Amino acid sequence: MNIAAFEDKLLHSSGQNFDELALELFRWQAANNPVYREYLGLLDVSPLNVDSVEEIPMLPVEAFTLRDVKTGSWKEETTFLSSGTTGTVPARHAVRSIGWYHQIAQRCFKERFGEVQGYELFALLPGYLERPNASLVEMLTHFVMAAGREPEEAFFIRDFEGLAKSLQQIGKHGSQKMLFGVRFALLDFVEQFPDCCESLWIIETGGMKGRKREMTTREFAASVKRHFGDVRMFSEYGMTEMTSQAYSEEGSGFEPGPTMRFLVEDPFVPGKPAELGQRGRVLVIDLANLHTCAFLRTGDMGILQADGKLEVLGRADNAELRGCTLMYDES
């Protein structure tokens, strides 16, 4: 497969040829990714017998904690690391090209919000900025710099007062303000500084397991809006093992971009698609993972809607707690 040509197809795809691209990528990764090839062998699946996207086996994301998941032989520019519970092994996602990651992240953002240059971006990320190689920090650093600002002007850890002052100053210039943040910190911030949040757009990036009462995305949006109504609430869905991101507004369901598709697996029959509206394990096809593995079985539970959007319900009972769900109080 011509990698440069495939990358170009992805960057210019409208999503209409998704199945064709997914099957092409599946056959290439099945032949050239040792971990995925071994997994298919354990399942006794021959790539020649896979004729539809629904038949493609999904690699459990736990493989990224145990092995180097790569398609082909190459040297990574960086490696993204997940966070997790104390003593657990973080997931490792080797990144062949950080420029490719930036291109995909910015395209996913543009599909939902337009160009990043149209926003004054801020980030409230306790836990992320204190640890190395977080993909979320890399994405937002790129966004902030692409919008013409320096990261130190936009990133905050626990300085709620400093963030409030910055938001108020930006507001005087009439720019659209957008704040990315972890749920725990966002709730505390809007409770303490509701007056600075006029016309603010908020994008929350994770749940609250182990810190506060767990909420669905819809419940979280409603909780924030109780403190002030003049705000637009969005959520971002991504993970260390993915290159693409999806966004939703006020719990309406995560809408995949042209390089992504969500599937949900029947909770009682592994490998079988769940019925529409049925709760099950979330599966993600992320074609932008062309250098690692595009076909992922996550630790999340969700419901697939008729329009292809995904309602995320939280982690499966036996899934490792990780990400921003655990980092707010770790200092």
Q: Tens digit of pLDDT for each residue in 227-269?
A: 666 788 899 999 999 999 999 998 789 999 889 999 999 988 8
Examine the domain organization and report whether 308 and 235 are in the same domain.
Answer: no
Reported as a single tens digit per residue, the pLDDT across 151-209 is 999 999 888 999 999 988 876 566 789 999 988 888 888 888 887 777 889 999 875 44
As for how many domains the chain has, the answer is 2
The DSSP bridge partners found for residue 284 are 262, 296
Given this model, what pLDDT does residue 188 score? 87
Reported as a single tens digit per residue, the pLDDT across 1-39 is 899 999 999 998 888 899 999 999 999 999 999 999 999
Q: What percent of the chain has pLDDT over 90?
A: 62
Examine the domain organization and report whether 146 and 49 are in the same domain.
Answer: no
The DSSP bridge partners found for residue 265 are 273, 281
Examine the domain organization and report whether 235 and 272 are in the same domain.
Answer: no
Does residue 78 belong to any structural domain of this protein?
A: no
Does residue 28 belong to any structural domain of this protein?
A: yes
Examine the domain organization and report whether 272 and 311 are in the same domain.
Answer: yes
State how far the Cα of 274 lies from the Cα of 310, in Å rounded to an integer: 13
Examine the domain organization and report whether 247 and 104 are in the same domain.
Answer: yes
Q: Taking 80 as the threshold, does the pLDDT of residue 129 lie above it?
A: no
What is the domain range of residue 242? 99-252+320-326
Examine the domain organization and report whether 167 and 228 are in the same domain.
Answer: yes
Reported as a single tens digit per residue, the pLDDT across 271-310 is 889 998 899 999 999 999 999 999 999 999 999 999 999 9
Question: CATH number for the domain including 208?
Answer: 3.40.50
State how far the Cα of 149 lies from the Cα of 158, in Å rounded to an integer: 20
The whole-chain average pLDDT of the chain stands at 87
Examine the domain organization and report whether 105 and 128 are in the same domain.
Answer: yes
Examine the domain organization and report whether 110 and 170 are in the same domain.
Answer: yes
Confidence band for 213, pLDDT divided at 50, 70 and 90: low
Name which residue leads in pLDDT, 313 or 50: 50
The whole model's pTM is what?
0.89
Confidence band for 214, pLDDT divided at 50, 70 and 90: low
Does residue 260 belong to any structural domain of this protein?
A: yes
Question: CATH number for the domain including 262?
Answer: 2.30.38.10
Q: Taking 50 as the threshold, does the pLDDT of residue 121 lie above it?
A: yes
Given this model, what pLDDT does residue 86 score? 42
Mean per-residue pLDDT for 67-75? 96
Does residue 280 belong to any structural domain of this protein?
A: yes
Q: Torsions phi, psi of 263, nearest 5?
A: -135, 160
Does residue 74 belong to any structural domain of this protein?
A: no
| Lowest model confidence (mean pLDDT) among 97-101, 211-215, 234-238 | 211-215
Does residue 46 belong to any structural domain of this protein?
A: yes
Examine the domain organization and report whether 177 and 260 are in the same domain.
Answer: no
Does residue 82 belong to any structural domain of this protein?
A: no
Given this model, what pLDDT does residue 283 score? 97
Examine the domain organization and report whether 146 and 207 are in the same domain.
Answer: yes
Examine the domain organization and report whether 154 and 189 are in the same domain.
Answer: yes
Examine the domain organization and report whether 240 and 186 are in the same domain.
Answer: yes
Does residue 71 belong to any structural domain of this protein?
A: no
State how far the Cα of 220 lies from the Cα of 208, in Å rounded to an integer: 10
Mean per-residue pLDDT for 44-63? 96
